[in-house]
Structure 1
Amino acid sequence: MVLLVSWAPVGLKRLPLTLAILCVAIGVLVFSTGALSFNPDPRTWDTATERLTELVVIISLLGAGLKIDRPPGWRAWSTTWRLLAIAMPLTIAAVAFLGWAGLGFSLAMALLFGASMAPTDPVLAADVQCGPPGSGEDDEVRFGLTSEAGLNDALAFPFVHLAILAAAGGLATQTGLVDWFGVKVVWKLLAGLGAGWLIGKAIGFMLFRSRRGPSRLGDGLIALAATLIAYALTEMVQGYGFLAVFICAVVIRGFERDHEFHQEMHDFSDQIERLLIMLLLVLFGGALANGLLSSLTWTDALIGLAVVLVVRPAAGLIAMTGSRQPWRERLLLSFLGIRGVGSVYYLAYGLNHGEFGDSERLWAIVGFIILLSIIVHGVTATPLLARLARRDSSCGSPAFPAAPAPANPPRSNNGD
């Protein structure tokens, strides 16, 4: 499998097939034979599922932050703000309503279902994200999906806490709502934002301003260190670590934006991320082979199809109404809202921290939606983006705008 992961980016480049699809298929095949007695059902390994998906997501978030060439700004990131402020809440509300009215879930479980379907996954969305730092592969579609995935993994967290509050009966009490808004929304978001900025500044200074900084050693291992430091310290002050990791990466990228060491960190982070994704997806395939979808009904499947093919695309198009983006870019931004590892994490976290009752059916429909997203988006994303690139090129505008020339030449690793 490790050999396959190292070969797949080149071997699958021209095929309507992704590493995610291949890993899931291998997981189904291997575990269906009965050769392995281990059953990787997330309903059994609830704590392990939460921790493993947590680790994959934070490593992916650092990589997403390092990929973004565009400096943060209100107008420059307008697509991001639209997707976060409009598309995400609409998606949560619509999915929660479908869970409550269409599936008969309780209000708490419907809210958890909606929150777990909110994030555009930073882990499985690598094929639709920006290219490596400084590559110039940052057209509006790739940039929008990368920045959205980097931020909405944290911004959806308050809704998971709202579902946990509802499961405990706290929605009917003023104290519960005040605590939720004051702590779970305001404090945790501000703490995550502030801690990520401070840690990013500290690490960026150490890397690019210190004469003996690690950037001169060319060791990408610092990417993993930055991820764990940002996440751990932020969680210690009760902030959202997901938000801190992404902000930390964006701030680090702001130091010497065109420095070659960003590529070193990105490459190392990408390798670790692909190995962990491989493990998770093979285990996901094993869970499918061992009956993860056994509780799925035809109604559940129809709701799952609606979430992937109707709810997110409709919410995205509403969010992009009035934007300056061409219609084809709006469609792609709306359609390519991939659901994946982040959804598993939110579901596992919610079930581990709240009393929701029997969750087998919820696991089944979430698993079905993730499988559907892996297949549908995996098969269509590459040809759709390639077609957009060709069309932009034929119209005389570059599909991937070149990164601006650096104000100062990049520093070499040996300091010359």
Structure 2
Amino acid sequence: MADLTVALGIGAAVILMAVLAVRVSVRVGLPSLLLYLGIGVLLGEAGAGIEFSNAELTQALGLAALVLILTEGGLTTRWDEVKPALWPGIALSTVAVAISVGVAGVALHWILGFDWRLALLWGAVLASTDAAAVFSVLRNLKVTRRLVGSLELESGLNDAPCYIAVVLLTSSDPITWKLPLTLTYELGVGAVVGLGLGWLGTHALRRAALPATGLYPLATVAVCVLAFATGQFIHASGLLATYVAGLVLGNSKLPHRADTLSFAEGLGWLAQIGLFVLLGLFASPARLLDAIVPGLVAGAVVTLLARPASVLLTMTPFRVPWREQVFLSWAGLRGAVPIVLAMIPLSQGVDGAYQLVDAVFVLVIVLTLVQGGTLRTLSKVLRLDTGASAREIDVDVATLDELDAELLQVTIPVGSKLHGVYLAELRLPPGATVSLVARDGKGFTPGPTTRLQEGDQVLVVTTQAVRSATETRIRAVDRAGRYARWKGETGSG
């Protein structure tokens, strides 16, 4: 009992320190993973003296955390923002991964003298960009939707092919012509599983009248985790299934969507904190000294050779301007994912695996400082800073089952063209009405001459039959103002 009490106390203290560290990371524009890794190192053998060296457990817990991180990434990725970058994002997460693995493998074979299989294994581990690192940095930058969409899709999708490549290269089985077929099957079936379970989960949640609001976020996350388990069970890509299921669910008209996204975001933070602290705890500072040189060499190869080559060859056919290609090359942030992938050969007893883990640890720290700390400046130098962050009007939905109706809670953001619109000009379809407006901490019943303002929270009661049309109209006015129909804005997509 005493051990449990101590463990819970340490865990709570670590989480509180990590939460406070988020403010520091946001201010300096760096992923908070560095601070979490530092907490883990301080708790480890060189600090508080906690011994932890179980590679298999680290890999298992790391993979579980990665599933939750990808779930949060899929749920919070807006389809209308990534849709223009769909094919470039897919190319970066598939073709570019293959190019990066090949280029890095060849370079590391000649520079560090690795045999071909080990060199390609290093390339596969280092080819994956980290969803947590990319999401935390990019969503604070003011660059174009196409750039953000491409990088978000890449970081959410490329974990799957990198994971498959690492598993195959770790195995002692010979590499044959069946490899491309295996990759195609695992990725294709994984995507289908994610789409199918995401669609089924959406329809089930929209028709269910659960007794408590908090059950909707739990059910949504459970669908994404089920997608991972299903994909893995049928020997497909569970990681891809997880992200795709989250993407489908997050872009559907789910009940209590805002609560679900908030819950998923908190769960994603918890997974990041636990994962990075665990990896910091596993690290051995004494071994890291010997890994500095190979880590820096591998980092230089990936950052200055493999990544630019893969971006150039995959983005040029899409006529991506050279400035955006430079930004895409530099924004391939590494984080916990390469370290988790490096645990796979370590847990299988592959020769040289400890050097790989330690080198990747060094590489992640250095590249996060160098790349993450200069992305904002680079966006300005390349004249890619748009000066405005992307925004989306927040429309939450609650089911009123006994009335066959739904309650929409609309939060009007800064910059919305709903600002200044009279309620009569909103022209909601018959069956929908604005029942309450909350402004400056006070609520009142609006009339036709009430003008909406930025920051208002508006409650709209609508029958289920016109719910979709109501939300579509609200989004159209948010984007184009009171004359949305004249401007051809439909509010869809």
Please indicate, yes or no, whether the TM-score normalized by the shorter chain is above 0.5. yes
Matched, 1:229 2:233: no
Which residue identity does 1:198 align to in structure 2? Answer: G
Structure 1 window deviating more from structure 2 (304-313 vs 331-340): it is 304-313
Superposed CA deviations along residues 195-230 of structure 1, whole A, max 9, x for unmatched, are: 11111111111122x041589657422343123211
Partner of 1:308: 303
CA shift for structure 1 position 11: 4.5
Matched, 1:328 2:323: yes
Superposed CA deviations along residues 289-348 of structure 1, whole A, max 9, x for unmatched, are: 543424326355223233234432342234322545444333222111111222122222
Partner of 1:378: 372
Superposed CA deviations along residues 67-91 of structure 1, whole A, max 9, x for unmatched, are: 2222599864132133134422221
- In structure 2, the CA distance between the partners of 1:312 and 1:213, relative to structure 1 (3 Å rule), is farther
Superposed CA deviations along residues 367-413 of structure 1, whole A, max 9, x for unmatched, are: 222222222233224555588898423xxxxx44555x89xx75335
Larger Rg: 1 or 2? 2
- In structure 2, the CA distance between the partners of 1:217 and 1:316, relative to structure 1 (3 Å rule), is same
- In structure 2, the CA distance between the partners of 1:107 and 1:344, relative to structure 1 (3 Å rule), is same
Q: Partner of 1:295: helix, strand, or coil?
A: helix
Counterpart Cα distance in 2 of 1:214 and 1:138:
42
Counterpart Cα distance in 1 of 2:71 and 2:196:
15
Partner of 2:420: none
Superposed CA deviations along residues 126-165 of structure 1, whole A, max 9, x for unmatched, are: 223458xxxx997222211111111111122342244135
From 138, 163, 174, give the equivalent of 1:157. Answer: 163
Do the aligned residues in 2 keep the contact of 1:57 with 1:342 (CA within 8 Å)?
A: yes
Counterpart Cα distance in 2 of 1:11 and 1:72:
28
Alpha-carbon RMSD: 3.2
Partner of 1:35: 48
Gaps of 5+ in 2: 1-13, 401-405, 408-493
- In structure 2, the CA distance between the partners of 1:337 and 1:215, relative to structure 1 (3 Å rule), is farther
CA shift for structure 1 position 190: 2.6
State how 1:287-306 maps to structure 2 within 5 Å: 287-296=282-291, 298-306=293-301
- In structure 2, the CA distance between the partners of 1:76 and 1:102, relative to structure 1 (3 Å rule), is closer
Which residue identity does 1:113 align to in structure 2? Answer: W
Partner of 1:45: 54
Partner of 2:357: 363
Matched, 1:272 2:267: yes
State how 1:8-407 maps to structure 2 within 5 Å: 8-31=21-44, 34-38=47-51, 40=52, 44-71=53-80, 76-130=85-139, 139-165=145-171, 167-168=172-173, 170-171=174-175, 177-178=177-178, 180-182=179-181, 184-208=182-206, 210-212=207-209, 219-256=216-253, 261-296=256-291, 298-353=293-348, 356-382=350-376, 384=378, 391-393=385-387, 399-403=388-392
Counterpart Cα distance in 2 of 1:17 and 1:83:
23
More RCO (CA 8 Å, sep 6+): 1
CA shift for structure 1 position 124: 2.4
Which residue identity does 1:330 align to in structure 2? Answer: Q
- In structure 2, the CA distance between the partners of 1:236 and 1:32, relative to structure 1 (3 Å rule), is closer
State the TM-score, normalizing by the size of structure 2.
Answer: 0.69
State the TM-score, normalizing by the size of structure 1.
Answer: 0.81
Q: Partner of 2:277: helix, strand, or coil?
A: helix
Counterpart Cα distance in 2 of 1:54 and 1:4:
23
Aligned residues: 388
Q: Percent identity?
A: 23
Do the aligned residues in 1 keep the contact of 2:166 with 2:341 (CA within 8 Å)?
A: yes
Q: Partner of 2:72: helix, strand, or coil?
A: helix
Superposed CA deviations along residues 7-42 of structure 1, whole A, max 9, x for unmatched, are: 34444432254422222233334436543231x3xx
Do the aligned residues in 2 keep the contact of 1:218 with 1:264 (CA within 8 Å)?
A: no
- In structure 2, the CA distance between the partners of 1:412 and 1:199, relative to structure 1 (3 Å rule), is same
Greater per-residue strand proportion: 2
Which residue identity does 1:23 align to in structure 2? Answer: Y
- In structure 2, the CA distance between the partners of 1:248 and 1:300, relative to structure 1 (3 Å rule), is closer
Which residue identity does 2:151 align to in structure 1? Answer: L
Counterpart Cα distance in 1 of 2:76 and 2:143:
9
Q: Partner of 2:316: helix, strand, or coil?
A: coil
Counterpart Cα distance in 2 of 1:93 and 1:410:
46
Counterpart Cα distance in 2 of 1:160 and 1:310:
20
Do the aligned residues in 2 keep the contact of 1:204 with 1:252 (CA within 8 Å)?
A: yes
Counterpart Cα distance in 2 of 1:267 and 1:227:
16
Do the aligned residues in 1 keep the contact of 2:99 with 2:310 (CA within 8 Å)?
A: yes
Do the aligned residues in 2 keep the contact of 1:67 with 1:130 (CA within 8 Å)?
A: no
Do the aligned residues in 2 keep the contact of 1:234 with 1:241 (CA within 8 Å)?
A: yes
Counterpart Cα distance in 1 of 2:147 and 2:120:
29
Which residue identity does 1:221 align to in structure 2? Answer: L
Counterpart Cα distance in 2 of 1:299 and 1:156:
21
